[in-house]
Structure 1
Amino acid sequence: MHPVRHSVRHSVRHSVSHPMVKPALRRGWRDLNTLQFGMAPAHAMVLGPMDTATGSFLDLLDGTRGMPMLRDEGRKMGLPEGHVDGLVERLARSGLLDDATGGGSAADALRKKKEVLDRLRPELASLSLVAPEPGDAVERLAARRSLRVEVRGAGRVGVVLAALLAGAGVGEVDVRDIGCVEPWDVAPGGLPAESIGERRQEAARRAVHGAAPDRPPRTSSKERGTKEVRGLSLVILAPRDDLAVHAPDPAAAEALLASGTPHLYAGVVEGTGVVGPLVLPGDTGCAGCLDRGRVDRDPTWPRLVAQWRSGRQRKVHACDLTLAACVAGLAAGHALAFLDGELPSSAGARWEASVPGLDWHARPIWSHPACPCGAAEKAKGERVSEEGEPHETMARQQPYAARLSGTWRAHV
């Protein structure tokens, strides 16, 4: 069993206007002086010493009261002068406090759309577990509305994946594909049975639109032009062709690498689900690195790929609903983590799981020195500390959100 974390102190950037103990975490007394927040070890935390009067006061931290009113309530409960401010600061530094009015103007605009916010409240609660600053969770959720994601592939994986992103509040999720919907494209949460025979791309876009809690914010023609210049926040390659999943063609991502567009691979090949790699151009291993690494390990790899690509193509591929749903869910989770400013474990790695066991494991995709993507060249710049331990490059060491002002700002 993983140990429960004790409170971790960090600096708080903003004052808290309307404090609210994060509702995503259940509370329970471990003893008379120790309070546990949360059940699951990943986010649970223990805070102490804490007396019962202070514990009772926590019920008032529900976001409906400002600090002056909370101080008055504290005095009525017999708490010492300054105790309320100290408690609020302590909870904030421990990452246990949210601000019901925080998050900036975009968050305020989202709060005004009550029906939309109610749809997104589970996402907001989940974000509060990983966003330590008061107001950060709703700020991240509101920021999703301005992001643009393109999903290439409208099969059992791609459409469900795109619908998940739209349902989680990503403002613009576009799906691209060719051909018409076949019976085997239909999937719960994806293309419905009544779309069989329709143009696949149009049916996929309609399904994604239906999953979104709100339309993206309207922009003027001038702003739309600027947005096109900025490019996409993320491209997800989810091909229906299982060969394109197993051996992605590096040429298909050349334009993405050239424009510096982050992209994520996902799909199913012969009963094996694949998520990754998430490619940060010039930073992590790409499809070209994957291909060259395979050639190094197996000289017959090019011969096999040539036969698979030139041979007779299967019309229906092995892609059962449960595995497709698993892949779509995991890929959407990694995509959202990236869009929210984190660096998911698919950056430079492929997660794979096969039926029937579905035992997920990661395979690293090392940057290859012969690949023109430049990731290997950047890796050479890693310095060695005085103790002899390698330091990761700045891009890998810092959270994605910390480097938005650098290389990747153009894509958000």
Structure 2
Amino acid sequence: MHPMVKPALRRGWRDLHTMQFGMTPAHALTLGPVDTATGSFLDLLDGTRGLELLREEGRRMDLPDGHVDRLVRRLSRAGLLDDSRGGGPDADALREKREVLDRLRPDLAALTLTTSEPGEALGRLAARGSMRVQVRGAGRVGAVLAALLSGAGVGEVDVRDVGRVEPWDVAPGGLPAEAVGDRRDETARRVARRAAPDRPPPRTVRSPLGEAAPGFGLVVLAPRDDVAVHAPDPSAAEPLLASGTPHLHAGVVEGTGVVGPLVLPGETSCAGCLQEDRTDRDPTWPRLAAQWRSGRQRRVGACELTLATTVASLAAAHALAFLDGGVPSSAGARWEVSAPGLHWHARPVRAHPACPCGAADGGKEEHISADEGSHETMAAHGPSEGSRRKAGTKRPAGTWRAHV
């Protein structure tokens, strides 16, 4: 192990004997009491020295025997330490790709804040390279979302859609203006490949839009049709449920952005549960949904550029949280934001007993979200009443895995 204090957390002295790591309440914690020699020794935890060399440095600084090991253990338990050589073989391979890793360093720094084991962050980042995600829909939301996932290190991002690029599909970070008239899906795939830190070769995936997606760890449904965003057709996701493929809904409808639910087949609520619940609350819902879906007039929906980009970003963040091993708060809920107030709020989507997905019978509807983690404080000689660090929550062993 070559320990290093996580560089993503800024340090500062609260007083002569107490050091604070991190600025924000979500991640900040305090260490104390800290003497001058220990404070100076912390600067040596930069990932360039192994434990034996750190012990020698501690002896030179007249630190008590065992002090270095105790300090390293406490910092590690508090989630403050990373390992500059940890993460396993995939992480070692990523370190060899210096230019790729440099592109991903901000992402790596962010992952260190939500992981606790030294080397775990780089291991997760490297694992993204072997993952496969499919985005269904290449409009202002889907194309940007695909580029974000690819840019964050997901190894393969396939995009499915029909038709050709229209002028109103163009968005910064998404489909470019020069692609108007080109095939929408092929253009979106090129955009995703260009965004990748380590550009993968082109790959053709032949599964039609309505079929299952074998081998994909996650499918994101980001339709351009605003009716499909507001009232997702359960039949469109039936192959995904049948194959056990996790999928996330996202999109914009009439000035409202939607992210969720994240569907873990058989465990969390799905589009069918949403439809059944709406029918329970409003008996006219099936009639309205049928009318909306039967409309064939050509129209351009209300999909304001910054709102679409915001939805794409939040959906990508939820997707990455799942791919990295967590259960984001979109599992069993739809996050919505509407103009002009732009206040995000979550609408629960309960597993419905009338839905054939089975989530109401055997699912685990209550998941711990990544923003409801446990808090922890740490002092040099035990817990203290100081600043608190929020730890990211992992999926329990035996539950959903992102990589199929």
User: TM (normalized to structure 2)?
Assistant: 0.89
Q: Could you tell me how far 1:133 is from its partner in structure 2?
A: 0.4
Cα distance in 2, alignment partners of residues 84 and 138 from structure 1: 24
Say which SS state the counterpart of residue 329 (structure 2) adopts. coil
Secondary structure of 1:350's match? Answer: strand
Contact 2:326–2:369 (CA under 8 A) maintained in structure 1: no
**How far has the Cα of 1:231 moved from its partner?**
1.9
Structural mapping, 1:159-238, within 5 Å = 159-216=143-200, 231-238=215-222
Q: Is the 8 A contact 2:325 2:402 kept in 1?
A: no
> Structure 1 regions of 5+ residues with no counterpart?
1-16, 220-227, 383-391
Name the CA distance, whole Å, in 2 between partners of 1:249 and 1:283.
Answer: 19
SS at match of 1:251: helix
8 A contact 1:171–1:217 mirrored in 2: no
Q: Which runs of 5 or more structure 2 residues have no equivalent in the other structure? A: 204-211, 374-392
> How many Å apart are 1:188 and its aligned residue?
0.4
Q: What amino acid is the match of 1:69?
A: L
How far apart, CA to CA, are the structure 1 residues paired with 2:155 and 2:270? 27
Distance apart, 1:313 and its partner CA: 3.2
Q: CA deviation at 1:310?
A: 1.7
Residues 377 and 101 of structure 1: is their aligned pair in 2 closer, same or farther, counting only changes over 3 Å? same
Instruction: Name the residue aligned to 2:206.
Output: none
**Secondary structure in 2 matching 1:402:** coil
Percent of counterpart pairs with the same letter?
A: 74
Tell whether the 8 Å contact from 1:183 to 1:193 is kept in structure 2 after alignment.
yes
CA apart distance, 1:180? 0.3
Structure with the bigger RCO (C-alpha within 8 Å, sep 6+) is 2
Q: Deviations over 1:374-403 (max 9, x none)?
A: 001125x99xxxxxxxxx589999965433
Instruction: Tell me the alpha carbon deviations over residues 219-262 of structure 1, each in whole angstroms, 9 at most, x when there is no partner.
Output: 9xxxxxxxx99621000000000000000000000000001100
Give the number of equivalent residue pairs: 376
Check if 1:359 corresponds to 2:343: yes
The question of 1:118 aligning with 2:102 is answered yes
1:247 to 219, 224, 231: 231
Distance 2:252 2:367 in 1: 32
Residue 274 of structure 1: CA displacement?
0.2
Question: Residue type of the partner of 1:373?
Answer: C
Give the structure with the higher percent helix.
1
After superposition, residues 298-337 of structure 1 pair within 5 angstroms as 298-337=282-321
Distance 1:393 1:76, change over 3 A: closer
1:363 partner SS: strand
- The answer for the alignment partner of 2:330 in structure 1 is 346
CA distance, structure 1, for counterparts of residue 288 and residue 402 of structure 2: 39
Paired position in structure 2 for 1:104 = 88
Which residue of structure 2 lines up, in the alignment, with residue 375 of structure 1?
359
Name the SS for the 1:60 alignment partner. coil
Deviations 1:270-312, CA, capped at 9 Å, x for gaps: 0000000000001011000000100000001111111111234
Distance 1:339 1:260, change over 3 A: same
Q: Which residue type is aligned with residue 363 of structure 1?
A: R
Name the counterpart of 1:6.
none
- Map of 2:377 onto structure 1: none
The partner residue of 2:249 within 234, 251, 265 is 265
Q: CA deviation at 1:407?
A: 5.8
Structure 1 position 25 matched with structure 2 position 19? no
Equivalent-residue separation in structure 1 for 2:248 and 2:272 (angstroms): 14
C-alpha deviation, 1:315, in angstroms: 2.3
CA contact (8 A) 1:145 1:216 kept: no
Pick closer, same or farther for the CA change 1:229–1:242 going to 2, 3 Å.
closer
Residue 66 of structure 1 pairs with residue 56 of structure 2: no
In the alignment, does 2:252 pair up with 1:286?
Answer: no
Counterpart for residue 402 of structure 1: 396
- Deviation for aligned residue 1:47: 1.3
TM-score, with structure 1 as normaliser: 0.87
Instruction: Name the CA shift for 1:229/1:269 in 2 (closer, same or farther; >3 Å).
Output: closer
- Alignment RMSD (CA, Å): 2.3
CA distance in structure 1 between the aligned counterparts of 2:246 and 2:296, rounded to whole angstroms? 32
C-alpha distance in 2, partners of 1:44/1:240? 41
- Is residue 325–residue 401 contact of structure 2 (8 Å, CA) maintained in 1? no
1:110/1:142 contact within 8 Å kept: yes
